[in-house]
Amino acid sequence: MKLTIVGCSGSFPGPSSPASCYLLTANDGDRDWRVLLDLGSGALGTLQRYMDLEDIDGVLLSHLHPDHCMDLTGLQVAIHWDPKGWAAGRVPVWGPEATARRISIALDMEPAANLHEDFEFHTWTVGETVELGPFRFSVHAARHPIAEAYAMRIEAVEPRRDGTIERRILAYSGDTDSCPGLLDAARDADMFLCEAAYHEGRDDAIDGVHLTGLRAGQAASDAGAKRLLLTHLPVWNDANRTVAEAQQAYSGPISVAVAGVHYIV
């Protein structure tokens, strides 16, 4: 499974990165499948460096804050108004119950756009496993100031050349503070893509919004994750400080997500 960092800037796009958007690619033996984890502010343009938009097999939304979902409005325009037509059909979108309404309000069309012509909306259910090509994904309740926020667990099942099957697990925190659902999502993951928007000593007294590097490291350690990839750092954060915090609690490999970088999970 390949992970491409399309955007990783925390809370709003930065000078070198859009807001949250991560492209996962896996092969089922017949073709490559591509799913997006979030589609935040500024991500749609950068995404086209790595793929044709018509090749999107699914969009998985962690929650409905603009830095994680708002470029779905641009994708709707691309689907609906492409002069050559959109041969791929409706794009499947998994997200909170209010996803279609949230995007419709953001588009602010008169009359309101019928988003169901362009998207196939599915509502997350905690404990349910969804299958899409070589992917299996599920969500766990996160802790963030919005009605629904989820951490994700994505498994890719890919055939090897020798006939065996390779299974890899990526966990994605979405936006969250420490909580049991975060640990459930990250349990024994091969890679834990985890937000760390806050710093100890500056933001650690703020409860129920974001993780610090220390909290992210502790979650990775408690969950037994094999690798920690820190993300969602706002432009004013010091990445070295975030890593140093995480190292206080987690002894495995740690790195910081950078837009445009590819990782093999």
Residue 196, pLDDT score: 98
Q: Domain segments of the chain: what residues?
A: 2-264
H helix or E strand, kind and range, residue 101: helix 99-107
Burial 73-96 (b: 16+ CB within 10 A, else e): bbbbebbeeeeeeeeeeebbbbbb
**pLDDT of 61 over the 90 cut:** yes
pLDDT 10s digits, 186-198: 999 999 999 999 9
**pLDDT of 45 over the 90 cut:** yes
Residue 112, pLDDT score: 87
Residue 163, pLDDT score: 83
CB 251 within 8 A of CB 216: no
Residue 209, pLDDT score: 98
The pLDDT of 228-232, averaged and rounded, is 98
The pLDDT of 67-85, averaged and rounded, is 96
Architecture of domain 2-264: 4-Layer Sandwich (3.60)
Residue 160, pLDDT score: 87
The pLDDT of 256-260, averaged and rounded, is 98
Strand, helix or coil for residue 83:
coil
pLDDT 10s digits, 129-182: 999 999 999 999 999 999 999 999 999 999 988 889 999 999 999 999 999 999
pLDDT 10s digits, 92-126: 999 999 999 999 999 998 888 899 999 999 999 99
**pLDDT of 264 over the 90 cut:** yes
Mean pLDDT across the chain, nearest whole number? 97
Cα–Cα distance, 69 to 197 (Å, whole number) = 18
Residue 162, pLDDT score: 85
| Cis amide linkage into residue 111, ω under 30° from 0 | yes
Cα–Cα distance, 177 to 195 (Å, whole number) = 9
**pLDDT of 245 over the 90 cut:** yes
Report the 10 Å Cβ neighbour count for 230: 28
